[in-house]
Amino acid sequence: MNTTPRNPPPSAPRRRGVVGVLIHESRWLVIRRSRHVAAPRKLCFPGGGIEHGESEAEALVRELQEELGVRAEAQRQLWRSQTARGVDLAWWHARLLDPISAMAPNPAEVEEAFWMPPTEIRHLPELLDSNIEFLDAWTAGEFQLPDL
């Protein structure tokens, strides 16, 4: 007996996220996630989920405002990946429109934010796997960052 329905239900839409790569004086912005979010206290680049009807660039600008209290501009998409949990990630280069001193991490989402050279970020033990993959792809030359 065949148990496959004739009209199977549509699969759930894939979850999508956006990640911001912000660079200042050869240092990249890294955040420590708060205790109150998924992957608590892990290190990563800022970003989050893309809401229905929102573009990747719009989501990135919104996430940077929510997480860090700063206005930013999405510059260009750098890379794409998929997490082990099936989330499709779009990695974007962005720039702050506000001074760095205006950055005020939202404690509900971000415990701390700091700037580091990318070569040091790669070896942080608390770094999310997706961020390691991104840094490895960059090191392998899969994409280029703009001249800064």
Q: What is the reported pLDDT for 5?
A: 44
Task: Give the model confidence (pLDDT) of 47-56 as tens digits.
Answer: 999 999 999 9
The answer to whether position 128 is within a domain reads yes
CB-based contacts of 37: which residues, under 8 Å, 6+ apart? Answer: 108, 109
The answer to whether position 119 is within a domain reads yes
In the chain, how many domains are there?
1
pLDDT band at 146 (very low <50, low <70, confident <90, very high): confident
Task: Give the model confidence (pLDDT) of 2-27 as tens digits.
Answer: 444 455 445 556 899 999 999 999 99
d(CA 71, CA 65): 6
The answer to whether position 6 is within a domain reads no
The answer to whether position 80 is within a domain reads yes
The answer to whether position 145 is within a domain reads no
The answer to whether position 38 is within a domain reads yes
Q: What is the reported pLDDT for 6?
A: 52
Domain holding 75, by residue range, is 16-139
**Which residues make beta-bridge pairs with 81?**
89
Q: Is the pLDDT of residue 101 over 90?
A: yes
d(CA 53, CA 92): 18
d(CA 41, CA 35): 6
Which of 92, 89, 80 has its CA nearest to residue 15? 89
Q: What is the reported pLDDT for 70?
A: 98
CATH code of the domain containing 85: 3.90.79.10
